[in-house]
Amino acid sequence: MGEKDAYLLRERLPLLLEAVQAEGYECIGPQWQNEAIVYDILNQVEQLPHGVQVNQYPGEYCGEIHEGNVRCFAWANGPQALKPFLFAPRETLWRVHRDNDGRLQFESATPEAPKRAIFGVRACDLAALALQDRHFLESDFPDPAYAARRENLLLIAVNCSHPASTCFCASTGDGPVAQAGYDLVLDELDDGFMIQAGTEEGQAIMARLNLIPVTDGHREAIEIQQEKAHEQLRQVPGKQLRDALFANLDHERWDDVAGRCLSCGNCTSVCPTCFCHSEEELAPLDGGSSEHIRQWDSCFTAGHSYIHGLTIRQQTRERYRQWLTHKFGSWHDQYGRSGCVGCGRCIAWCPVGIDVTEELQAICGSDDA
């Protein structure tokens, strides 16, 4: 644990929120709304999901509120990750005006990019953010909207104390303890939070809090908590999945999973690393201007692979195979690592409870040593 750690007593948590607000950030934090953890505007710490615990299973997400339980971060995750805050589900890319002579004037849309702080960020989501950064920013054509929002982002991570049964971040190496990419990171105990800074900005915020030293008792409790969080039910098969997947493109399991999969695309929507989107023209209403937008798309739609006269992935089998071979296979070629950070969202939010770890095991595990 870092040298400059300190302890924030639970009753002083509002000071942290106030310090961040004082820096001019719009604060976003986890809240229990409509039977799920969602990230929404956070004005006061009372809005945090106190006492909420969430049980996640394939195709199932159900929360319980434990009266008297003081913890605010004793759940793993909700359907959103950081993705919607950076890569907007739908946004205007540009507008074009046409004058009476048919001349066109193109104008870039200015993205909305307020200074924004997000509380309760998970290790898996930080790892996913690093991947989205590579995709949208470390490119010959950096994405201006993503860049503007990324620039203005402050991240306050909380190490997971209660992974869900669907989580397998320990096996992907991305969690449950945040490794990098945060400004501040907390470990939650009943009486408060151990706090550490990852950036100078985080340090400056820490300096404004009324902190006390971390006791040996705190350290020990956190160590036990972190160890326990590493004990996860699910895992990805520990082998070269890229080669194993592409060596098994004719595996009969693809037909089997295609028989269950609805091709709904929920998995790709909740996945924090999926980046596919389509562009669309919003038909001009006044005849004088038109808008060009983009919105999230999924490799599970027919349009995704359409070229004139041919849908390359007509069948669910081909779509599911595209999703799995991309996420766990060709991501290695594209970004030097798997596209999965082990958050388990695609398992919990799949309406029919398809479990990627199980499918991988069935397809790649057969010749496992």
Partner 1 sequence: MSSPYLPHEAEIFQRLEETPHIFTLRLRFTDPDIHAQYHFEPGQFNMLYVYGVGEVPISIVSDPQDEHAYDHTIRRLGRVTNVLAGLQEGDRIGVRGAYGRGWPVQQAEGKDVVLITGGLGCAPVVSVINYVLKRRDRFRRLIIMQGVKHSDDLIWREKYETWSKQNDTQVVLAASQGGAGWPWATGHITELVSEIDFDPQNCTVMMCGPEGMMIAAMKELLPRQVPESAIWLSMERNMQCAVGHCGHCQHGPNFVCKDGPVFNYPEIKPLLGIKGF
Ligand X SMILES: Cc1cc2nc3c(=O)[nH]c(=O)nc-3n(C[C@H](O)[C@H](O)[C@H](O)COP(=O)(O)OP(=O)(O)OC[C@H]3O[C@@H](n4cnc5c(N)ncnc54)[C@H](O)[C@@H]3O)c2cc1C
For ligand X, give the closer residue by CB, 103 or 308. Answer: 308
Q: Residue 248: how many CA atoms within 13 Å on its side-chain side?
A: 25
Nearer Cβ to partner 1 (32/320): 320
With binding defined as CB under 6 A, does residue 350 bind ligand SF4?
yes
- Peptide bond connecting 176 to the previous residue in cis, omega within 30 degrees of 0: yes
* Smallest gap from residue 344 Cβ to ligand SF4 (A): 5
Stretch that binds ligand X, among 19-27, 213-221, 303-311, 360-368 (CB under 6 A): 303-311
Nearer to ligand SF4, 162 or 345 (CB): 345
Q: Give the strand pairing for 52-57 and 60-65.
A: antiparallel
Q: Are 16 and 29 in contact (CB under 8 A)?
A: no
Phi, then psi, of 132 in degrees rounded to 5? -65, -35
What is the rounded distance in angstroms from the CA atom of residue 54 to the CA atom of residue 77?
Answer: 8
Neighbour tally for 41: CB within 10 Å: 11
Burial class of 176 by CB neighbour count within 10 A (0 to 12, 13 to 18, 19+): buried
Question: Which of the stretches 43-51, 219-227, 307-315, 341-349 binds ligand SF4 when contact is defined by CB under 6 A?
Answer: 341-349
Member of 126, 131, 229, 356 binding ligand SF4 (CB under 6 A): 356
Tell me the H-state helices in the chain.
13-22, 83-86, 123-136, 144-151, 169-172, 200-207, 216-230, 241-246, 253-260, 266-270, 316-325, 331-335, 345-348, 356-364
> How many CA atoms within 13 Å lie on the side-chain side of 315?
10
In the list ligand SF4, ligand X, partner 1, none, the entry touching 277 (Cβ below 5 to 8 angstroms by class) is: partner 1
Q: What's the number of CA atoms in the CB half-sphere (13 Å) around residue 112? A: 8
| 104 contact choice in partner 1, ligand SF4, ligand X, none (CB below 5 to 8 Å, kind-dependent) | partner 1
Site string for ligand X, 307-326 (x = CB under 6 A): xx------------------
Which among ligand X, partner 1, ligand SF4, none contacts residue 366 (Cβ within 5 to 8 A by kind)?
none
Q: Which of 186, 354, 360, 363 binds ligand SF4 (CB under 6 A)?
A: 354
| Residue 271 contacts ligand SF4 per CB under 6 A | yes
Counting contacts by CB under 6 A, is residue 263 touching ligand SF4? yes
Q: Which is nearer to ligand X, 283 or 307 (CB)?
A: 307
- Please give the residue ranges that form the binding site for ligand X (CB under 6 A): 306-308
- Please give the residue ranges that form the binding site for ligand SF4 (CB under 6 A): 261-267, 270-273, 300, 327, 340-346, 350-352, 354, 356
